[in-house]
Structure 1
Amino acid sequence: MAPLKFCANISWLFTELPDFHQRISAAAAAGFQAVEAAWLYESDLEQLRRAREAAGVELVLINTPPGDIKGGDLGLGAVPGREAEFRQGLDLALKYARALECKRIHLMAGRVPMGSQRKAVAKEMEAVFVQNLKYAADILSKEGITGLIEPINTRITDPRYFLDSPHQAAEILEKVGKPNIKLQMDVFHWQIMDGNLTQNIQKYLPLIGHVQVAQVPGRNEPDSAGELDYRYLFNTLERLHYQGYIGCEYKPLGSTQEGLGWMRDYCTHSE
């Protein structure tokens, strides 16, 4: 079985360093061959490009812009009336993806609007999301880029996020019907919302285009105290021949470097 490939999420790791270009270099020095990030849009694009090339790492994933975070946004993909802003955000994400040779963009669904009940707006939000994803798929296919949708748990992390389970995401992907729009599996969110990880991984693996990991419930290193046996989960992904990257999207308990023992342990045992 081929060993798994890990990438450092530099929105969460190496935050001891203030700038993303510094974190790219630190990730490479720590042994990562790839990085990912949520939002890089306040960083100088040329500086990021030079840092990535100098470090020799691949940029695996970025997110579409969140919208107005202070105003309560966390993505716009499923938000009615914000379609033009979603397209503008997609254009900006594409600009960064092209320059940084990034082949995956997380198309963020967004939150149920304030003052609205989830059940009352669910059908409208799904319809908006499906149309926006179809639009994005056609744009991204010309660039050889995969779009991803990620369920985020509504029990702990974000009660108003629209897309919150792998089952809901699979239904939306079926309605979109585009081969370059796939499912992003964040094990942290899946465990909190549904558990049943072995069955869900087996069921949805054909749809999965990216994986992210963190321990539950603290969202710390995979080998920190918590509910999940990551050695078992990594073995499961190996056995099912998962070929993509696994993003390390967790909060280090101490320094990032001190918390990477789990990865060194995995690499030692997979040699």
Structure 2
Amino acid sequence: MVKLNRRKAIQNISLGFGALSISGSAFGKTISQDFSRTFSDRLKGNVNHAVCRWCYQSIPLEEFAEKCKSIGIKAIDLLKPEEWEVVQKKGLSCSVATDTFASITEGFNDEKNHEKLQKQYIELISKASHAGVQQVIVFSGNRNGISDEEGWEQCAKGLAPLVKHAEKNNITLIMELLNSKVDHADYQCDHTPWGVQLVDKIGSDSFKLLYDIYHMQIMEGDIIATIRKYKEYISHYHTGGVPGRHEINDSQELNYPAILKAIVDTGFKGYVAQEFIPTYEDNLSALKEGILICDV
């Protein structure tokens, strides 16, 4: 498999349950074409299911939104402003807004990025509010020798005017926790306690964390205990199989039903978005499988 880069993908995007016990590849081959007709009716309703667009960029967005709707998905993550209305017309929400300027590597921990990012994000927050989109993603940026203390200070300083603007517009800014071990070398917000410290420093309900289960398993493990401990700091979740960021079935090391039960038990009412790169020939079969696994 060719390893995909999410940042480039976002920039290039154009306008019976017993099966869970069998192998992922078998599931992908045996799932019925007609299953989607009753699929959403079988979901328990405890999880607000979403999916990240970039993992399915080969499917035109309008078609993808229709397919998502048919299997009980309520929202699509990481859409740009010109894409929001496309999914909204299909009865879905944009769960996390982004745009091409959003940079994982050049973020708010470096003062030289503040002026440019503030101008761009103020506009994005306003657009999101007007369109009824409730969350906007932000990134710390790479360390480049920046200490934890300086990173917290600069992120808080750079985000301050955006948080105020978000408060006025009923928007939540979410900073994603990413691993710096495999996928995003040198990224600063790479441990939950680092992100928690920043949330405390900013001190606003309009700034929270995007807890990516795949990334945090790689960096620190202890997923369920961490979710329980820091539940008030988390506004959004991403999934992904470890290792490899592929399907979340029994081919990988995480117990997603147990993790999702822990999330539900915290009283979480936000979105849980599938963010794995499918390997099945039928990508949507992989997505259906992921939804079933997470539907606790």
In structure 2, do the counterparts of structure 1 residues 93 and 256 end up closer, same or farther at CA, with 3 Å as the change threshold? farther
The aligned runs of 1:13-92 (5 Å cut-off) are 14-17=56-59, 19-37=60-78, 40=80, 45=82, 48-63=83-98, 65-66=100-101, 74-92=105-123
Aligned residue identity for 1:228: L
Q: Partners in 2 of 1:50 and 1:181 — Cα distance? A: 25
Aligned residue identity for 1:261: E
> Where does residue 253 of structure 1 map in the other structure?
279
The aligned runs of 1:1-271 (5 Å cut-off) are 3-12=46-55, 14-17=56-59, 19-37=60-78, 40=80, 45=82, 48-63=83-98, 65-66=100-101, 74-113=105-144, 117-119=145-147, 122-254=148-280, 255-259=282-286, 260-264=288-292, 266-267=294-295, 270=296
In structure 2, do the counterparts of structure 1 residues 266 and 162 end up closer, same or farther at CA, with 3 Å as the change threshold? closer
Taking structure 1 as the reference length, the TM-score comes to 0.84
In structure 2, do the counterparts of structure 1 residues 226 and 129 end up closer, same or farther at CA, with 3 Å as the change threshold? same
- Aligned-pair RMSD on alpha carbons? 2.2
Deviation at 1:15, TM superposition (A): 2.1
CA deviations 1:146-198 (Å, max 9, x no partner) are 11112211111111212111000111111111121111111011111111112
8 Å CA contact retained: 1:215, 1:228 = yes
In structure 2, do the counterparts of structure 1 residues 142 and 65 end up closer, same or farther at CA, with 3 Å as the change threshold? farther
Q: Partners in 2 of 1:204 and 1:31 — Cα distance? A: 28
In structure 2, do the counterparts of structure 1 residues 256 and 151 end up closer, same or farther at CA, with 3 Å as the change threshold? same
8 Å CA contact retained: 1:80, 1:124 = no
In structure 2, do the counterparts of structure 1 residues 176 and 65 end up closer, same or farther at CA, with 3 Å as the change threshold? farther
In structure 2, do the counterparts of structure 1 residues 111 and 6 end up closer, same or farther at CA, with 3 Å as the change threshold? same
Aligned residue identity for 1:33: K
Q: Partners in 1 of 2:105 and 2:100 — Cα distance? A: 8
CA deviations 1:41-92 (Å, max 9, x no partner) are 6xxx2xx34422320101111236545x7xxx63422222111111122034
In structure 2, do the counterparts of structure 1 residues 21 and 78 end up closer, same or farther at CA, with 3 Å as the change threshold? farther
| Unmatched 5+ stretches in structure 2 | 1-43
Q: Partners in 2 of 1:66 and 1:93 — Cα distance? A: 10
Aligned residue identity for 1:61: V
Q: Partners in 1 of 2:85 and 2:101 — Cα distance? A: 25
Structure whose residues are more often helix by fraction: 2
Aligned residue identity for 1:7: A
Q: Partners in 2 of 1:153 and 1:266 — Cα distance? A: 22
Deviation at 1:132, TM superposition (A): 1.9
In structure 2, do the counterparts of structure 1 residues 153 and 198 end up closer, same or farther at CA, with 3 Å as the change threshold? same
8 Å CA contact retained: 1:154, 1:164 = yes
Aligned residue identity for 1:62: A
Taking structure 2 as the reference length, the TM-score comes to 0.77
Deviation at 1:21, TM superposition (A): 4.2
Q: Partners in 1 of 2:88 and 2:210 — Cα distance? A: 26
| Unmatched 5+ stretches in structure 1 | none
Deviation at 1:215, TM superposition (A): 1.1
Deviation at 1:100, TM superposition (A): 3.5
Deviation at 1:26, TM superposition (A): 3.5
Aligned residue identity for 2:115: A
| 56-65 vs 238-247, greater mean Cα deviation | 56-65
